[in-house]
Amino acid sequence: MKSQKILIVVLFLSSFNAIGQNARFSQIWSAPIQFNPALTGRFDGRVRSSSLLSWQNAIAQDSFVSKKTVYMNHQNVSVDVKLGKYRSSGDESPQNEVIDETDQEEGKDKSGNKKKMTGYWGVGFNYYAYGHETSPIKATFYSLSVARHFYTKSNRLFGFGLQVTNANGVLDESKSEDKAFNKEITGGAFRYPYVNGNNPLVDRSGKQSYTDVNVGAYYGRVTESVMFELGAAMHHLFYPKYDASDVEDKDDPSLRHRVTAHSILRLRFNNKWGMVQKNMFWKEGLYLRSRNTDDNLEITAFWTGLELYRVDPTGGINPNFGLYTRNFQTVMPYLNLTCGRYINLRYSYEHPINSIKFPAYSAKRNEVSLIITAGRQTKPGTKFYKKLNFW
């Protein structure tokens, strides 16, 4: 049995082959609404408030000062709410809570329960921004999302989501000494640098705004021994204009599609520890059909890793641990600390493995995430092998 578990883990770790580097968060799963709009309302509880902060630095690209370190800060804040009658996706009701039989079925998610559920709605708001006082470009994104979640059986869940985003980018090269820039740590979605490269004699500036539309879906299933979830999303459906330097240019290029995908696998090990394995894929710059473009070399990222969870913890403070990598060329230890039912604190540090051999992988990232949930029925880890949600 142990050899089968190890084989499954190896297969998941080797399931993708991606090149390049993506500039988003290390803890991309801590910003689920940004990653896939179908994950709006995909959590245990009634209301969730999430914040994710990232401090990043890397060696400048196309800089007139060699090996200059550049900096970029990222932040993501979201609030999402469940509407209607719902279950908590695997969390059972507290043992001492008295509820009637009809509500009790809503509060449970036992494997093999044949009761069909109609599901619930999730609505959410997401704010994402990147920038630094020394960076030539910064941007803000405001998103509204709606998702519909369905239960086909008590141990199966799937959903669809739609998101509308207002994006605002500002370019001011006078902010950056020698126009130092690194695509690896900048959030993207606005075009910089440009085809002709940087001109040290000219400080360019400009603004651009556009409306974006994104869609996504997922499917999950749980048994006591194994749980899995698969999902995918497509962003920039209508190719918005995204050049922050010249909004009047008729030749302003269009922002190509972004595709994201994820898989989650939970395996039963023993009565003390459980394992969760995650894969997250992010690809920029895709067209549904071939088009001429001067920006066809966009970056790709693939996160993969393992997390260990305490099963049925007895204390109020529950530390859990993980280890991730991005494209198998960085290493990222991860601490996931829960306090009771309501507070979840996460910390990670991402470090490149070999920046000399892989010069594009020079970024170092410190990230902190704080998630506060209201209406959760049990604390994380309780009834671990009945849960369907590991976001």
Query: Residue ranges per domain, the chain?
Result: 26-256+341-386
d(CA 281, CA 277): 14
- pLDDT of 143 > 80? The answer is yes
**In whole numbers, what is the pLDDT of the chain averaged over residues?**
79
Tens digits of per-residue pLDDT, 1-43? 454 444 444 444 444 433 334 557 899 999 999 999 999 999 8
Question: Residue 75 has which token pair?
Answer: 């932040």
Question: Which residue did the predictor score with more confidence, 228 or 191?
Answer: 228
d(CA 78, CA 144): 10
Question: Which residue did the predictor score with more confidence, 203 or 388?
Answer: 388
pLDDT confidence of residue 3? 45
Low-confidence winner among 23-32, 82-91, 373-382 (lowest mean pLDDT): 82-91
Number of helical (H) and strand (E) elements in the chain, helices listed first: 3, 14
d(CA 262, CA 304): 10
Q: β-strands 273-286, 257-268: how paired?
A: antiparallel
pLDDT confidence of residue 17? 39
What does each C-alpha distance from 255 to 46, 210, 251 come to in angstroms?
Answer: 35, 10, 13
pLDDT confidence of residue 13? 42
d(CA 70, CA 364): 11
Question: Which residue did the predictor score with more confidence, 367 or 170?
Answer: 367
- pLDDT of 101 > 90? The answer is no
Residue 39 backbone phi and psi in degrees, to 5: -85, 5
d(CA 324, CA 309): 15
Please give the model's pTM, rounded to 2 decimal places.
0.83
Q: Binning pLDDT at 50, 70 and 90, where does residue 214 land?
A: very high
